[in-house]
Structure 1
Amino acid sequence: MKKSFKGLAVLLMVCMLLTTFLTACSNDKPGAAGGEAADKEYSLRLATVVNPPHPWVEMAEYFAEELEKRTDGKVKVTVYPSAQLGSDETTIDEMRTGTIDFIVGGAQNAASFIPQYQAFGLAYLFTDDDHFENTIAHGSPVFNRFAELYEEKNLGIKLLGLSGGGVRNVSNNLRPITTPADLQGMRMRLPGSPMEAKLWEALGAIPTSLPWSEIYTAIQTGVVSTFESTISGYNGSKLYEVAKYHSETQHLYMLSHFSMSQSTFDKLPEDYQKIVQEVAIEASLKGTEIGKQFDKELLVDFVEKYGVEVNKVDTQAFMEIVQPLHDELAEDIDATDILQMIRDLQ
């Protein structure tokens, strides 16, 4: 009888130890409720070079708020606008080592890492809003191709979403621009995209590569006299103070990329990774919509509040010069396939 009780006691003890072990193993899995991963908090940083109010800042703030809410406060993101963490190029470099976790930035500023992003710098590429939005939609052939390029180039960053941000126009401090002839000899600030430089040279401008944060001073000091930007960017950086002529060229749909450090992504529990991706898609859609909204509302303020002279342009004259260059320039940046995908989505 004693042996029987002793054997039962040993069996119970073994069962308890086994249960404890299995529970511990289960809790150690990423995202498991009650485990170390689920209890851990993450403080992450998101960089963008623009000043608020701007679609990029608003989509970043939406992302931060929703991510914290849906992870019960476990994942907190601090948004750093106004190039507080450096230029886009510097930020992407730091993301590769995990020093900075997220960026909402202009695709053209990422061209040194993903040259094919320059395809979105082909002026007058899209027929309308629907064409642009279908092209950048999550899961579209174009989105999937860029996600592949991130991996192929082993950049250490992950594409979360593509977004809009409004259309781009030309502003300057000299005169209204209505035809390409008005651009002749103007020193024009451009992002670091060789392809865009070729396009604007064809239109008569003299390209000068400068970070976004330096445009205001560059206009003041005469380093450049003109630049192209979204209406939101023109407003947020108060460029209307130094460049009173705003010409509605509407030559580009602004492409924004929402990217994440791969090392940061890999450190997150699996369920948090899914939430990050879901909220990033929502934030990207929001950025596109806010960009369109700002385009409509801010233009009135420029005229009524700041005395900006807004003028229409002969877009056909611009298109006749730049559209024949599309195929050649796309080939130069190894983006012929992307250009065809965009055309197929019309």
Structure 2
Amino acid sequence: MWAPIAAADEIVARLSYHWAPKHHSAIYSQEFADRVNARGEGKIRIETFPSGQLFGIREIMGALTSGSVQLGGVVGTVSFPPVNRNYNVEALPGVFEDFGHLRKFFRETEVGQEVWNDVLNRTRTKFLAYNPTGPFMTFTSQRPLTSTESYEGLKARYLSGVERPRWTALGADAVSMPTGEVYTALQNGMIDTFATVPSAIKAYSWWDHVKYAELPHQFYADSFIMANQAWFDGLPEDVQQLLIEVGEEISEESTASIMEFSDKVLEEFVAMGGQVNTLSEEAQAEFERINREEVFPGLSEMIDPEVLDAALEFSSQ
């Protein structure tokens, strides 16, 4: 697929991601490219294409697999389930405590490893860095979200199919919609609610149209910087090592800063007149009941029962 690379030639690679420049994941995607370019000057140069200039959130995985682009920013809950549906366990509400807990499941349990390795093998991609999107929470323009009843009749956008059973269980009308259409849909009233990470409401200016947010976080959306495996294998060994080393640095720094970054965005949201409501213990218990009795069973066609059981058992330990 890839032509041989002469040792004396500078390698030029394209890094495509859908995040807007102010998004936390976009900031660290650019930082990844900047560090590689500085340390690999004369050997490799990465050109970045943010805001879906090359490929959108639902297109990047296919582009990496086909070799249409060398590097990409990938959101796990969007790109991985079409390859292996069991990756949907990431988005189970209330199951994983944080990013470390989530990653431990995929890297250290037999079931999780099988899912993770299957995704990489089938897509012919190379993992380079963790670049988390953030903690998911719900935002709406309609009313404070303080109970399960608050969701009745809301028009909720969903990005991945795993979100839909929860909206249905809570009595909201679910509408499938890519990232690029959300602002206009909020503007014209097609939707009034969505679950996303705090970084997104700032990066895409969605906070122009929403007034209320709900805590605690539902799940932790991990994202990655990935490479086409054939392209990576064809690189000189020192360039491969450079990408791996910078990837490790970005993984640590992006993960360490994501929660603080998210909290600061919420502070800005409140300063603009927004309202963040934390559920009472009684309300949280009701959400947990609905998850157990309606949401998790509704995911039976999206997650194999043994994988769902393994994730719930892992969470309870």
TM over 0.5: yes
For 2:226 and 2:99, the matched residues in 1 are separated by 23
For 2:308 and 2:128, the matched residues in 1 are separated by 18
Aligned to 2:241: 274
> Do structure 1's residue 183 and structure 2's residue 151 form an aligned pair?
yes
CA contact (8 A) 1:246 1:311 kept: yes
For 1:217 and 1:320, the matched residues in 2 are separated by 34
For 1:268 and 1:338, the matched residues in 2 are separated by 39
Tell me the matched-pair count.
Answer: 307
Where 1:105 maps in the other structure, the secondary structure is strand
Map 1:1-346 → 2, pairs under 5 A: 37-110=6-79, 111-128=81-98, 130-132=100-102, 134-135=104-105, 139-141=107-109, 144-153=113-122, 155-193=123-161, 195-304=162-271, 306-313=272-279, 314-324=283-293, 325-326=295-296, 329=299, 332-334=302-304, 336-337=306-307, 340=310, 343-344=313-314, 346=317
Rg larger for: 1
Query: Which range is displaced more, 89-98 or 334-343?
Result: 334-343
CA contact (8 A) 1:119 1:335 kept: no
Query: Which range is displaced more, 329-338 or 107-116?
Result: 329-338
For 2:305 and 2:117, the matched residues in 1 are separated by 13
For 1:284 and 1:145, the matched residues in 2 are separated by 22
1:330 positional shift: 6.0
1:151 positional shift: 4.5
For 1:162 and 1:236, the matched residues in 2 are separated by 20
1:233 positional shift: 0.9
Q: Deviations over 1:253-310 (max 9, x none)?
A: 1221332222321331233223222322322232222211112222111111x21122
Residue identity (%): 26
| Amino acid of the structure 2 residue aligned with 1:207 | A
| Amino acid of the structure 1 residue aligned with 2:15 | L
Q: Deviations over 1:13-56 (max 9, x none)?
A: xxxxxxxxxxxxxxxxx9xxxxx743221111112222232221
CA contact (8 A) 1:188 1:224 kept: yes
For 1:232 and 1:84, the matched residues in 2 are separated by 19
1:163 positional shift: 4.2
For 1:192 and 1:296, the matched residues in 2 are separated by 24
| Amino acid of the structure 2 residue aligned with 1:266 | D
Structure 1 residues 251 and 161 mapped into 2: Cα distance closer, same or farther (>3 Å)? Answer: same
Structure 1 residues 152 and 209 mapped into 2: Cα distance closer, same or farther (>3 Å)? Answer: same
Where 2:139 maps in the other structure, the secondary structure is strand
CA contact (8 A) 2:60 2:74 kept: no
Q: Deviations over 1:45-78 (max 9, x none)?
A: 1122222322211221221122223323421112
TM-score, normalised via structure 1 length: 0.79
For 1:87 and 1:249, the matched residues in 2 are separated by 29
Unmatched 5+ residue regions in structure 1?
A: 1-29, 31-35
Where 1:88 maps in the other structure, the secondary structure is coil
Where 1:310 maps in the other structure, the secondary structure is strand
Structure 1 residues 320 and 124 mapped into 2: Cα distance closer, same or farther (>3 Å)? Answer: same
